[in-house]
Structure 1
Amino acid sequence: MNSIETKDISYHYPNGSNVLEKINFKVEKGSKVALLGANGAGKSTLFLHFNGIIKPTSGTLFIDEEEVKYDNKSLMKLRQKIGIVFQNPDDQLIAPTVMEDVAYGPLNIGLSKQEIKKRVEESLKQVGMEGFEKIAPHQLSGGQKKRVAIAGILAMQPEIMVLDEPTSGLDPRGASQIMKLLYKLNEKGITIVISTHDVDMVPLYASKVYIMSAGHIIKEGTPQEIFKDVKTVREANLRLPRIAHLMEILDKEDNEVFCKPPYPLTIGEARARLSKI
């Protein structure tokens, strides 16, 4: 069953310029999917379609195989099912305290005070931010803000979580913590969709990858299938993961047998390749 499916979705600005052109994109229930592309490829615009923030100029969006409708009642239901975490958490954190921010969504769908309190506590615990309830969001670090933004979505108990550049602006440790959190959420049954230009992260966390360039989906497949097509990756203004790039250099310069394509994408894959020599 597909959690998200777009059929020939296009989106044009009022001035007529194309942002998305006939996008066909599928996310299976319970999967981890990465939308990979350089800045300006159209990733954020596509994501804003998934919970009705943007309505396509043409084409159709399906959530759980039902066509999305854009009346207020349908959109409210949709936004409880799909949560979007924006690239910049400052665009999402609007309340005076962490507790009020995480409670904002549940409060607006009319839940009881007891249920709201329970959801806030559970969500903050899941992201490791318990004890920060009375802190103002602007006093948090970038990684902490991301966690609170995720907690605000978790408090709505979504089936699908969509994250736009979830590691943007974070140091390597903070980025790793966020991705480990998303991995755990996926293990609990939440479908995870991320956009990123971080090619090193994709083979570690994604089961399926789409490459987007200039408003078009130009390739889809497993990480191995995607990065085997070096020409397409580079045409999208991306690069190979560092391990694969190193192997490519060794292959060209030293013609080493263990460096032949398809190149390993992670340290673990490289170690396994070397152990067979």
Structure 2
Amino acid sequence: MNPLVELAGAGYAYEDGPEVLSGVDFGIAEGRALVLLGRNGSGKTTLMRLLSGGLRPGSGTLRLDGAVVTHDRAGLTRLRRAVQLVVQDPDDQLFAASVEQDVSFGPMNMGLEPGEVRDRVDSALAALDITALRDRPTHLLSYGQRKRAAIAGAVAMAPRVLILDEPTAGLDPDGQERLLDVLAGLRTAGTTVVMATHDVDLAVRWADEAAVLTPTGVRVGPAGELLSDPALLASAGLRQAWSPAVTALLRAHGLLAPDVPGPRTPEALAALR
């Protein structure tokens, strides 16, 4: 499958610092649920900002639908209509007085007609289950509500790719599950979702595909396969997920046939009894 957005031979170094990424070939295929994992400082945030146009590659190229993205106004406008990044801390993204004003900012700056802006805002608020909060001042929202409002602002841009930096961080278990339900709905509606996380269990349960950043580069492949590799996870400073570990233990004791998929959730494990 041809990548929708991709980096080819990309490298980046911050001013007066060493290269954070070097020679990276990495693409996002349409319709996937992709997870980014790696230790702090591995380059996950830099990679996401390169893909979304927030940073310009120091070497190599960024392509959208196979065409090189130029980092002028026209090129970045084209990219940001297709790719949206939601940063980890919603307070770094929310700035308007009310939820509705914040969510409408992007579509209004696209030059859309007022009716189209209103429709996009309504749809985004509904998708994130925060319609009742549309008139609420953003500074009076709970942390979980601010997270969803920040995502709604990106969703209102109708991106083909939505990139989320640690979207479940700071949320309680119920808040995490509600957010995952929202992401499932966005995928069903046709949005490709990319999530950066340190939670390997969540990654195994949620993702189709994984990209693991290690000191030697980026490894990309099926999530179940990559996240079952103890050596790869150790090189990335990650612990092994319980699902692959339990699956290996069950098979070693003859309790799970080789052709039967392993449990990915506690509920699936309980159903094996």
| TM-score, L = length of structure 1 | 0.89
Give 1:40's aligned residue: 41
**Alignment partners' CA distance in 1, 2:25 and 2:87:** 22
Q: After the TM superposition, which segments of 4 or more aligned residues of structure 1 sit over 6 Å from their partners?
A: 259-263
Count of residues paired in the alignment: 270
Q: CA RMSD in A?
A: 2.4
Q: Is the 8 A contact 1:20 1:215 kept in 2?
A: no
2:161 maps to 1:163: no
Give 1:62's aligned residue: 63
2:232 maps to 1:229: no
Give 2:181's aligned residue: 180
Give 1:193's aligned residue: 194
Give 2:147's aligned residue: 146
2:254 maps to 1:257: yes
Q: Is the 8 A contact 1:106 1:116 kept in 2?
A: yes
Unaligned runs of 5+ in 1: none
Q: What is the CA distance between 1:265 and its match in structure 2? A: 5.6
Q: What is the CA distance between 1:259 and its match in structure 2? A: 7.7
Deviation string, structure 1 residues 182-201 (Cα, Å, up to 9, x no partner):
11111111111111111011
Deviation string, structure 1 residues 209-248 (Cα, Å, up to 9, x no partner):
011124831x221122112311111121101112334566
Q: Is the 8 A contact 1:7 1:60 kept in 2?
A: yes
Q: Is the 8 A contact 1:162 1:194 kept in 2?
A: yes
Give 1:244's aligned residue: 244
- Aligned partner letter, 1:233: L
2:19 maps to 1:15: no
Q: What is the CA distance between 1:142 and its match in structure 2? A: 1.6
Unaligned runs of 5+ in 2: none
Q: What is the DSSP-based 3-state SS (H/G/I as helix, E as strand, rest coil) of the residue aligned with 1:134?
A: coil
Q: What is the DSSP-based 3-state SS (H/G/I as helix, E as strand, rest coil) of the residue aligned with 2:131?
A: coil
Q: What is the CA distance between 1:114 and its match in structure 2? A: 2.3
Q: What is the DSSP-based 3-state SS (H/G/I as helix, E as strand, rest coil) of the residue aligned with 2:133?
A: coil
**Alignment partners' CA distance in 2, 1:200 and 1:242:** 7
- Aligned partner letter, 1:257: G
Deviation string, structure 1 residues 59-86 (Cα, Å, up to 9, x no partner):
1111122111111111112111111111
**Alignment partners' CA distance in 1, 2:19 and 2:6:** 20
Question: 1:78-97 counterparts in 2 under 5 A?
Answer: 78-97=79-98
Q: Is the 8 A contact 2:200 2:227 kept in 1?
A: no
Give 1:30's aligned residue: 31
Q: What is the DSSP-based 3-state SS (H/G/I as helix, E as strand, rest coil) of the residue aligned with 1:21?
A: strand
Change (3 A) 1:18 1:169: same
Give 1:2's aligned residue: 3
Q: Is the 8 A contact 2:34 2:193 kept in 1?
A: yes
Q: What is the DSSP-based 3-state SS (H/G/I as helix, E as strand, rest coil) of the residue aligned with 2:42?
A: coil
Give 2:109's aligned residue: 108
**Alignment partners' CA distance in 2, 1:193 and 1:247:** 26
Deviates more, 1:238-247 or 1:40-49: 238-247
- Aligned partner letter, 1:224: G
Q: What is the CA distance between 1:269 and its match in structure 2? A: 5.9
Change (3 A) 1:176 1:105: same
| TM-score, L = length of structure 2 | 0.90
Q: What is the DSSP-based 3-state SS (H/G/I as helix, E as strand, rest coil) of the residue aligned with 2:240?
A: coil
Q: Is the 8 A contact 2:228 2:241 kept in 1?
A: no
**Alignment partners' CA distance in 2, 1:215 and 1:74:** 31
Q: Is the 8 A contact 2:163 2:193 kept in 1?
A: yes
Q: What is the DSSP-based 3-state SS (H/G/I as helix, E as strand, rest coil) of the residue aligned with 1:228?
A: coil
Question: 1:199-210 counterparts in 2 under 5 A?
Answer: 199-210=200-211
**Alignment partners' CA distance in 2, 1:75 and 1:215:** 30
Deviation string, structure 1 residues 146-173 (Cα, Å, up to 9, x no partner):
1111111111111111111111111111
Q: What is the CA distance between 1:53 and its match in structure 2? A: 0.9
**Alignment partners' CA distance in 2, 1:42 and 1:261:** 36
Q: What is the DSSP-based 3-state SS (H/G/I as helix, E as strand, rest coil) of the residue aligned with 2:132?
A: coil
**Alignment partners' CA distance in 2, 1:260 and 1:239:** 25
- Aligned partner letter, 2:264: T
Q: Is the 8 A contact 1:18 1:215 kept in 2?
A: no
**Alignment partners' CA distance in 2, 1:257 and 1:21:** 44
**Alignment partners' CA distance in 2, 1:264 and 1:239:** 18
- Aligned partner letter, 2:55: I
- Aligned partner letter, 1:266: R
Q: Is the 8 A contact 1:202 1:223 kept in 2?
A: yes
